[in-house]
Amino acid sequence: MAERTSPQRRKASMTAGVIVALLAVTACSPSTGSAEIEVELTDRAPSGAAPVSEITWNLPDGEPATLDPRESATYSSATVVANLCDPLLAIDEEYNLHPNLVSFEMPDPLTLVYTIEAKAAFWDGQPVTADDIVYSLDRAADPAAITAFLFANVADVEKTDDDTVTVRFAQPDAMFNAQMATFAGAVVERSFAETAGASFGTAAGGIMCSGPYTLDQWRPGSDITIERNPDYWNKELPLLVERAKFTFITDSTAASQALSTGEIDGAYRIDPSAVPTLGAASNGQLFFGPSMESLQLYVARADGPLADVALRDGLQKAIDREALATTVYSGAAAPLYATVTPRTWPTAQRELYQDAYEKWAAERTFDPEAAKKLVEGSGYGGETLVLGVPAGQATLSRVAQLVQQQAETVGVQIEIKDLQPLDYSTASYDTVTRERFGLDLLLGESFNATAEPLEPLGFTLTEGAPYNYTQIADPELATLLERARAAVDPEDRARLVIQAQEIGEATSAAIPLLSLHTTTFLNSRLGGAITSFAYMSMPSVAYLGGTGGGE
């Protein structure tokens, strides 16, 4: 899951709990020397109240492969789609769940009733109807869609009257409702999508949604422009920005320069290599926000040398995660020893998850001698492993080089293969692309949108899931995940998840490296940016406004 989906939450009162802490980020740069940046983790930048005619925002992961909501499992596509397409429900910057297009009630554990509250219309003026909602949910549940896993327990979706849609479950599903605040719950116009067919979501076919911004134009290889929807139904959103252009600069040095000069107004996911430069920039500010993002090294195929779990376990102990966090990420990350990041643990069950996590932290602590013994005891014969990384991203290149060096010290040979942004993005969910490049490993950042460990585990450990690269198909694991998803009691669910995690982690299908912060740069002329990772499921442009300062 080098780039991935994420969504979840239970009821309207659930919160991911924003952790506020001071952190000192120290890094060195040839041009700036040693720069110390002291920032407070925050989920939103100070507001800007003035209208803004146009902004330019960069997508550091490059051009989206699609804007079809049900396939928007990458950082770039999800960021754009969240500004265009209304989901059924909404989250705020602290991950609280709210009504949006609909309100909801659950008369029993197997029934969820959505009632249309917003008098919303698609950009072409047609009203959002129960038929459109049923169509959108059925479409997202299609087995061919990336979002299909989220609908695994849905028995049927039915229009029960003009303003009501009823979802019935084959068994209780503790995570489904909150997913409806993400792209999985985005509503598209049925007639438009059916007419567009396979071109829906492409630059040629376009999309039709009801969100706060409309898709103005998509110039392949250049940019995507969105414009404020003058008839948008939700008058509580500021909508001070008239027009936003998303650019696709993936080279971290070029992106940093464009932000420093004001050519670009802002970006999420700032490369840590740019932190010293942008931390000292006079025209804007860096923000560090709470996040459930992680950096992981994924075993990219079920066969080949890495089919041997002993070799994977050797790599787990061969990598110095502390060094990655301090020397490469300048302190804007923490070592990670399990696939699910600690921030993803529900607050009330944190102690249970912590106990389970400590076992993996102990087993995967940096120990080159133990790693070498594991490698020597495996069936590895010295073959070169191919590691895919995105071209132009300086930090991930540094991580890959460090992994390569440390693997070599324990007897494992790794070749680094730079992939162009679209190829890299596609490789994260497409087996054929990974095979075409001969990838054994894929380095990438993954994300989780809500504090529910079932989400990342389901996407990586469920048989047939798009991110189950090693084709795990364990009946006991499947049963545990199924029971956990149906468990109404959070403590019961946590215990079942931990049991499932024990089985999944033992496969070492992923080598977790770091838990990351969300890093945002915002030009001084703007305020209001969502700086927690919740931005991925929120219409982030809609919260921006002018401050009267900056470039």
Q: Are residues 305 and 171 in the same domain?
A: no
pLDDT(129) > 50: yes
What is the reported pLDDT for 410?
98
Handedness of CA 480, 482, 487, 493 (dihedral sign): positive
Show which of 199, 227, 245 is a domain's final residue: 199
pLDDT(248) > 90: yes
Q: What Cα–Cα distance (Å) separates residue 514 from each residue in 44, 233, 326, 340, 519?
A: 23, 40, 11, 11, 14
Can you give the CATH number for the domain in which 219 is found?
3.40.190.10
Confidence band, pLDDT 50/70/90 cuts, at residue 179: very high
Phi, psi values for residue 97, rounded to 5°:
-95, 135
Task: Tell me the two tokens of residue 90.
Answer: 């909404």
Confidence band, pLDDT 50/70/90 cuts, at residue 451: confident
Domain tally, the chain: 3
Q: In 262-393, which residue ranges form alpha helices assigned H by DSSP?
A: 275-279, 309-318, 321-323, 350-363, 368-377
Residue 379 and residue 529: Cα distance in Å, rounded? Answer: 51
Confidence band, pLDDT 50/70/90 cuts, at residue 22: very low
pLDDT(546) > 50: yes
Residue 159 and residue 108: Cα distance in Å, rounded? Answer: 18
Residue 9 belongs to some domain of the structure: no
Q: Are residues 280 and 262 in the same domain?
A: yes
What is the reported pLDDT for 10?
26
Confidence band, pLDDT 50/70/90 cuts, at residue 491: very high
313: left (phi over 0), alpha (psi -120 to 50) or beta: alpha
What is the reported pLDDT for 200?
98
Residue 322 and residue 361: Cα distance in Å, rounded? Answer: 12
Q: Are residues 215 and 180 in the same domain?
A: no
Residue 174 belongs to some domain of the structure: yes
What is the reported pLDDT for 488?
86
Show which of 199, 215, 243 is a domain's final residue: 199
Can you give the CATH number for the domain in which 96 is found?
3.90.76.10
pLDDT in tens, 106-119: 999 999 999 999 89
Give residue 35's domain range.
Answer: 22-53+206-290+519-546
Element (H, E) at 254: helix 252-261
Task: State the burial class of residue 530 (Cβ atoms within 10 Å of its Cβ: 0-12, 13-18, 19+).
Answer: buried
pLDDT(16) > 60: no
What is the reported pLDDT for 465?
85
Show which of 199, 225, 247 is a domain's final residue: 199
pLDDT(256) > 50: yes
Can you give the CATH number for the domain in which 351 is found?
3.10.105.10
Among 10, 220, 203, 180, which residue's Cα sits nearest to residue 85?
180
Residue 353 belongs to some domain of the structure: yes
Q: Are residues 245 and 170 in the same domain?
A: no
pLDDT in tens, 497-540: 999 999 999 999 999 999 999 999 999 999 999 999 999 999 99
Q: Are residues 105 and 243 in the same domain?
A: no
Q: Are residues 170 and 249 in the same domain?
A: no
What is the reported pLDDT for 4?
38
Whether 74 contacts 80, CB under 8 Å: no
What is the reported pLDDT for 550?
57
Q: Are residues 112 and 164 in the same domain?
A: yes
pLDDT in tens, 280-331: 999 999 999 989 899 999 999 999 999 999 999 999 999 999 999 988 987 7
What is the reported pLDDT for 38?
52
Confidence band, pLDDT 50/70/90 cuts, at residue 446: confident
Three-state SS at 172: coil
As a whole number, the mean pLDDT across the chain is 90
Residue 416 belongs to some domain of the structure: yes
Residue 107 belongs to some domain of the structure: yes
Residue 413 and residue 434: Cα distance in Å, rounded? Answer: 19
Q: Are residues 217 and 77 in the same domain?
A: no
Residue 86 and residue 123: Cα distance in Å, rounded? Answer: 11
Q: Are residues 369 and 508 in the same domain?
A: yes
Residue 531 belongs to some domain of the structure: yes
Q: Are residues 338 and 463 in the same domain?
A: yes
Residue 11 belongs to some domain of the structure: no
Residue 533 belongs to some domain of the structure: yes
Confidence band, pLDDT 50/70/90 cuts, at residue 73: confident
What is the reported pLDDT for 415?
98
Q: Are residues 356 and 472 in the same domain?
A: yes
Q: Are residues 162 and 301 in the same domain?
A: no
Kindly state the average pLDDT of the residues 32-47. Answer: 66
Element (H, E) at 156: strand 154-161
pLDDT in tens, 359-418: 999 999 999 999 999 999 999 999 999 999 999 888 999 999 999 999 999 999 999 999
pLDDT(435) > 80: yes
Element (H, E) at 506: helix 490-506
Kindly state the average pLDDT of the residues 184-213. Answer: 98
